[in-house]
Structures are given as C-alpha cells and as structure tokens.
Amino acid sequence: MKVIPLGPGFAAEVRGAGLADVAERDDAYAGVRAAFEEHSVLLFRGQHITEEVQVAYSRRFGPLEIAKVASRGEGTPFSILTNIEPDGSLVPPDHKEALRAKANQLWHTDSCFKDPPALASVLCAPIIPPSGGETEFASQRRAWERLPEAMRARLADAYAWHDYAHSRGKIAPHLASERERNALPPVRWRMRWRNPVNGRDSLYIASHTYAIDGMSKDEGQTLIAQLIEHATALGHTWRHTWQPGDIIMWDNRCVLHRGRPWADDKPRRVVRTTITATDADGLAEMRWEKTAA
C-alpha cells in the first residue's frame, strides 16, 4: 500500500488497497486506519464497489449512522444527495433537493448537529456532471495550528452550539422542516477536538454552528465566521474533481468540506455512508456534561 500526499498538509491518495481489501483484511484496515488518522482525507480511485462493500468498509471504522428524517435514504445507512427524480427528470432550481445542494455548498462537517456526531464520511459519486460539482476540503487541524497561542487557549475549553436548522435557514427560511427540527434539536460540543491516537488538536465548528457559550449572539457568530474564514483561507484547501470509480473518506472531527456548484441541467448523484463517533474517537472529552460534572 502506498499513501500519496495531495493537499496542503492533509489529504492523500491510497494506492494498492481498496475498500474491499479493507472490508476483508485486518492488515489493509490497519494501514488505511493509520493513513486516515494522519492525513484526514483519503482518496481511492478505480473502485468498483457495491452498496454492500461500501457498508462493510465503513463498518470497519465504527457503527454506522442511519440517514436522518426527511432525507433520501431515510432509515438506511445511505444519505443520497441528488437532483435526479425517480422518473429520471431533474428537479427545478427551487426544489427542496436543489436548495439542499446549495446548503451543502456552505463549509460544514457532517452531523455535528447530532448526538453522537460523526467520526467519518465515505462518499461515492456514481453520477457526476461534466464540469462543476467538485468537493472541497479544509483542515481544521491545520487551522488550529495556525491560530495564535492566545486564541488556542481561549478556545480549548470553549463550547459551541450546532443546529441543522441554522445552516438550512441561510438558504431558505423553511428549508428544515418541522419534522427535521423536532428530530434534530441543537447540541453543544467543545470547540477543540483532540485526536486520541496522535494527540493533535482541531477546531470543531461548521456552518451549523450558531452560538458560543459565554458570548452574545453577535459576538459568537462573528467569531465563528472569522474562524471558518481562517480555516478555509486561500492556499489552505484542497479541491477534488470527481472521476468514475472515485471514493473519498474524510475525518469529520477535523475537516470542513463543501460541494461546489454545477449546472442545473446536469445530473449529479452522490451516496454517503457516515460512521458515528464513539468515546474511543475522543468523543467523551467533547461533551459539556462531562466537563461540567
């Protein structure tokens, strides 16, 4: 197995081991797990996988999240993001799925608005447009390292609130349905996530983040925006242009990502499995209740 660096201090391509190898062999899993902890974003090319293989690979890393209410794939391990209707037609620009795609073009980390949140996401793109629709990444671990020491000290034990409806409201006031709002109430997490394998710290914020404990609403939102801008500054991101057979896995504890726009008249379909974080992934230290106790 070879690991080829791709981005500015994070992201790498894995060669010589595929998803099926990891699903079946302990040595392949150990090598890919080590690369995941080190590089945060992993690219596999030329993969010919089924849904069963994607699930088996993902389960190697932990329990799987079930897709949230009111989403395509609800009740299954698959989150399906597409502008294609079941009859093959494309949704209009004002359709809920098109608006969700725009919301996913905000910098975010998957499932920080859930308890438990996500450890990692595994994404395949069976239908890709001829141009556009890329996925872009930024390392919140590298962003933490670039912060002034005083800011790191300030944020190390700070807590922020995350809400799915908050990010969706940036696109359209009622994009998050009442059912979604009831199923996904706001949650609070520490703003610094420490990786228990290598001890490296990361920011933990996203477009879903709307408030910081101990700050006014305006002050908190201003700081959140500044931190996201810092993490995603020019020269500190990596953009992936999809090719058939590509699979990407990323660490939601320390990576921001966003989809990029594509033409409304071009089909796109991506399928994600999401791995739930556990205490072994550093989750226990993220909980406010643990610190408060």
pLDDT (tens place) for every residue of the chain, 293 residues total = 999 999 999 999 999 999 999 999 999 999 999 999 999 999 999 999 899 999 999 999 999 999 988 889 999 999 999 999 999 999 999 999 999 999 999 999 999 999 999 999 999 999 999 999 999 999 999 999 999 999 999 999 999 999 999 999 999 999 999 999 999 999 999 999 999 999 999 999 999 999 999 999 999 999 999 999 999 999 999 999 999 999 999 999 999 999 999 999 999 999 999 999 999 999 999 999 766 54
- Three-state SS for 70? coil
Tokens 């190697």, located at residue: 60
Q: Domain limits of the chain?
A: 2-292
90, 83 contact by CB (below 8 A): yes
Domain 2-292 -> CATH class? alpha beta
Task: State residue 169's pLDDT score.
Answer: 97
70, 231 contact by CB (below 8 A): no
Q: Looking at the DSSP assignment, which residues form a beta bridge with residue 238?
A: 137
Type of residue numbered 258: R
Residues 6+ apart with CB under 8 A from 156: 191, 192, 201
Task: State residue 292's pLDDT score.
Answer: 57
Residue 27 to residue 6: CA distance in whole angstroms:
23
- The edge-to-edge listing of strands for the beta sheet with 135-139 is 237-240, 135-139, 255-259
Q: Looking at the DSSP assignment, which residues form a beta bridge with residue 203?
A: 192
246, 124 contact by CB (below 8 A): yes
Task: State residue 68's pLDDT score.
Answer: 86
Task: State residue 70's pLDDT score.
Answer: 83
Residue 164 to residue 168: CA distance in whole angstroms:
6
C-beta pairs of 58-62 under 8 Å, 24+ apart in sequence: 58/120, 58/122, 58/273, 58/274, 58/275, 59/275, 60/22, 60/23, 60/29, 60/33, 61/33, 61/36, 61/119, 61/120, 61/275, 62/119, 62/120, 62/275, 62/276, 62/277, 62/278, 62/281
Task: State residue 153's pLDDT score.
Answer: 98
Indicate the helix (H) or strand (E) that contains 81: strand 79-82
- Three-state SS for 264? coil
* Cα 153 to chain centroid, rounded: 25
Task: State residue 293's pLDDT score.
Answer: 46
